[in-house]
């Protein structure tokens, strides 16, 4: 897998966003948009998926987190591939923790296939995270939940979907949100009217607000205040 795109924090780093792109994209596809909305204390990591054959696209090779066999919600799924991708995300979280960022200051996010991976990775991680941003996606291996859930039921999830999505049907997003709400306490599902399989300025503004809310830390402002008021 190629090196991730990293956007360093512009102030002292106290939080991290790890965001996974959609099928056929790269980390560069989201890094600029996310850099424009993240708080100054947040580092953004946009990994690029390995290039592999995708059954849904006639076996053509493209960046893909795991194989997609169908976009039918009850169809067969690439369980070993999903779990291997999950292990990779868990490794990225662990690397941030080793660098001094606690798990509850790490946000996982993603779009489409990347959002599916973010949801699965967060639910199967053994430490509470700051939250999950899941855009235009679904919960993979949904029949294994809630039994497969390892994380706290309090981890917040922000799920967003356009009601004109021709790729990952809006109904799949709704069904995933309903299932998540049955075993997670803090799930928000927001509909974007007229939006197809993409993002929008309104959605990005909402993502900006939610990650700021999840990672806001009173000590952040106090530390800056103390710094500027130090008596030498």
- Contact indicator for 62, 23 with CB cutoff of 8 Å: yes
- Contact indicator for 41, 12 with CB cutoff of 8 Å: yes
**Rounded to the nearest 5°, which phi and psi values hold at 5?**
-80, 125
**Per-residue pLDDT tens over the stretch 121-145:** 999 999 999 999 999 999 999 999 9
Catalytic residue, chosen from 161, 165, 176, 206, is 165
Catalytic residue, chosen from 31, 112, 136, 176, is 112
Phi-psi region of 16 (alpha: psi -120 to 50; beta: other; left: phi over 0): beta
Q: How confident is the model at residue 226 (pLDDT cuts 50, 70, 90)?
A: very low
Place of tokens 């002292």: 12
**Per-residue pLDDT tens over the stretch 6-26:** 999 999 999 999 999 999 999
pLDDT winner (highest mean) among 1-5, 55-59, 224-228:
55-59
Using CA atoms, how far residue 86 sits from 101, 108, 190, in Å, is 20, 12, 25
Tokens standing for 158? 């922000």
For residue 14, the SS3 value is coil
* 197 in active site: yes
pLDDT of 228 strictly over 80: no
pTM equals: 0.92
Tokens standing for 37? 């909305």
* 209 in active site: no
Residues in the chain, overall count: 232
């Amino acid at each position: 897998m190629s090196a991730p795109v990293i956007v360093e924090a512009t102030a002292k780093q106290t939080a991290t966003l790890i965001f996974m792109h959609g099928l056929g994209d790269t980390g560069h596809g989201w890094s600029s948009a996310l850099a424009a909305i993240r708080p100054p204390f947040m580092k953004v990591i946009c990994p690029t998926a390995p290039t592999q054959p995708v059954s849904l696209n006639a076996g053509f090779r493209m960046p893909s987190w795991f194989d997609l066999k169908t976009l039918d919600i009850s169809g067969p799924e690439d369980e070993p591939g999903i779990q291997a991708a999950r292990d990779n995300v868990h490794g990225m979280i662990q690397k941030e923790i080793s660098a001094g960022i606690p798990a509850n200051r790490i946000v996982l996010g993603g779009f489409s296939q990347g959002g599916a991976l973010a949801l699965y990775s967060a639910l199967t991680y053994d430490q509470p995270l700051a939250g999950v941003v899941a855009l235009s996606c679904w919960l993979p291996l949904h029949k294994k939940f809630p039994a497969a859930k390892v994380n706290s039921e309090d981890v917040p999830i922000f799920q967003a979907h356009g009601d004109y999505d021709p790729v990952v049907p809006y109904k799949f997003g709704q069904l995933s949100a309903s299932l998540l709400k049955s075993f997670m306490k803090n799930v928000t599902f927001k509909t974007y009217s007229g939006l197809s399989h993409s993002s929008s300025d309104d959605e990005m503004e909402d993502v900006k607000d939610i990650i700021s809310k999840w990672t806001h830390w009173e000590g952040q402002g106090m530390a800056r205040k103390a710094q500027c008021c130090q008596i030498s």
